[in-house]
Amino acid sequence: MGAPEDQERAVDRANGSFLAIRRPRLYSKRRRLFGRRRWLFRRTYENLWPFASAWSAVCTLSALADGHAASGALPLFIDGLAAYHRSHGAVFSESGPLGYESCVVPPLGTGGALYFDDNAWLALALMRHHEINGDLRALALAQRLFEFVLTGWSNEQSWSHPGGIRWKQPTSNTSRNACSNAPVAQLGALVHLRTGDEDALIWAIRIYEWVREVLLSPDGLYFDQVDPVGRLNTDVWSYNQGTMIGAGVLLHRITGEQNYLRQASVTAAASMTRFPAEALAGRDAAFHAVFFRNLFMLDQVMPDSSYRQLALTYGNGMWEQFRDPSTGLFNGNMSQLNNSAPLVEIYALLAGAPLHP
């Protein structure tokens, strides 16, 4: 836990940043959706991934004792989610695998492709939503999303490194990414913890081991993706490290196997070298929120004060250098929502919010 003055400052910043993303400039109370206002009655609505990132952030703030600004906002996300599926609210009367489109569907938007990683982030937010307020609709949707993302698992034996969840539909997409696998390993572990589903645990372990076998670099970090002939995209992103760290913590919690923690700590140590605060500042805020929340999970079982210090330095730098005081929003290289909502989550974590993947 940080110093009292740091925690108090983090509470204020988390609540203030939450209020900023909920102002009419970026949020439609009528639609319960985020989107920049273009004209008096028109908006460009945010894609599913930023929507899920904001949902996760509001969950984290809602779980904080001092997160008063978020009280009452959490249930509104389920209403807004209907805009990303052609059946809209009818999904609650259906069963089976469920995937949401990457963009809002008609009449508010054009719709978009179904990305397995987008739906994994959404499912993780739903699992957190259920944990906080017991909403069984959220748990049911998360389980159906888990069924959907598993349909992305490749059974093509002619490919190098068979297996792995593809990035998106249709099957012509052949990229298998860390971001479409590691969060699903976390999701499977959470489904098992919440419901006792043994198949979900088997999948979580299977996916986790596939990522380690195929995308693990010699220095303990994870590469971005692999194609059917085995060519690696060797980009290293903070959130891919975070999700594998978090998956290791969850699998250790379930199985008691120490090797999962050892693997997580190796990646965490390598990440601290690869991602100093100056390398994180001003870009990819949504990636870094995932990174920090999973680092904090590891810190809970294998304490290391450097994780919190890095998050604190990053959070201070973002507030001082990249926040627009006139709007309360943050600048960066993503959408306005994905530049700003992740900071709500990071400040809430620094303020002592309960930890989650």
* The pLDDT of residue 38: 74
Ramachandran category for residue 12: left, alpha or beta (phi over 0 → left; psi -120 to 50 → alpha): alpha
% of residues, the chain, pLDDT over 70 = 99
Q: What mean pLDDT value characterizes the chain?
A: 95
Residue 39 has pLDDT above 70, yes or no: no
Residue 1 has pLDDT above 90, yes or no: no
Can you give the length of the chain in residues? 357
Q: What is the DSSP letter of 34?
A: E
In a domain, 59, yes or no: yes
Task: Name the 3-class secondary structure at 165.
Answer: strand
In a domain, 355, yes or no: no
Angle at 182 between CA 35 and CA 340, to 5 degrees: 25
In a domain, 94, yes or no: yes
Reported as a single tens digit per residue, the pLDDT across 119-146 is: 999 999 999 999 999 999 999 999 999 9
Instruction: Provide the domain count of the chain.
Output: 1
Comparing 299 with 41, which gets the higher pLDDT? 299
Reported as a single tens digit per residue, the pLDDT across 60-118 is: 999 998 877 787 899 999 999 999 999 998 888 888 999 999 999 999 999 999 999 99
| pTM assigned to the model | 0.96
Residue 273 has pLDDT above 90, yes or no: yes
Residue 257's pLDDT band, with cuts at 50, 70 and 90, is very high
Please provide residue 160's backbone torsions phi and psi, each rounded to the nearest 5 degrees. Answer: -65, 135
C-alpha closest to that of 120 among 165, 172, 82:
165
Task: Please give the average per-residue pLDDT across 247-251, as a whole number.
Answer: 98
Tokens of residue 36, six digits = 């920049």
Q: Rounded to the nearest 10 degrees, how much is the dihedral formed by the CA atoms of 251, 254, 255, 259?
A: 30
Tokens 């002939």 belong to 229
In a domain, 98, yes or no: yes
Task: Please give the average per-residue pLDDT across 219-224, as a whole number.
Answer: 98
In a domain, 236, yes or no: yes
Looking at residue 27, which CATH number applies to its domain?
A: 1.50.10.20
Domain span at residue 192? 4-350
C-alpha closest to that of 357 among 84, 147, 68, 131:
131
Within 13 Å and on the Cβ side, how many CA atoms surround 39?
Answer: 2
* The pLDDT of residue 3: 77
In a domain, 127, yes or no: yes
Please provide residue 13's backbone torsions phi and psi, each rounded to the nearest 5 degrees. Answer: -70, -40
- CA–CA gap between residue 152 and residue 168 (Å, rounded): 7
Residue 11 has pLDDT above 80, yes or no: yes
- CA–CA gap between residue 1 and residue 226 (Å, rounded): 39
Cβ pair 248, 199 in contact under 8 A: no
* The pLDDT of residue 40: 64
Buried b (16+ CB within 10 A) or exposed e, 208-234: bebbbebbbeeebbbbbbbeeeeeeee
In a domain, 149, yes or no: yes
In a domain, 128, yes or no: yes
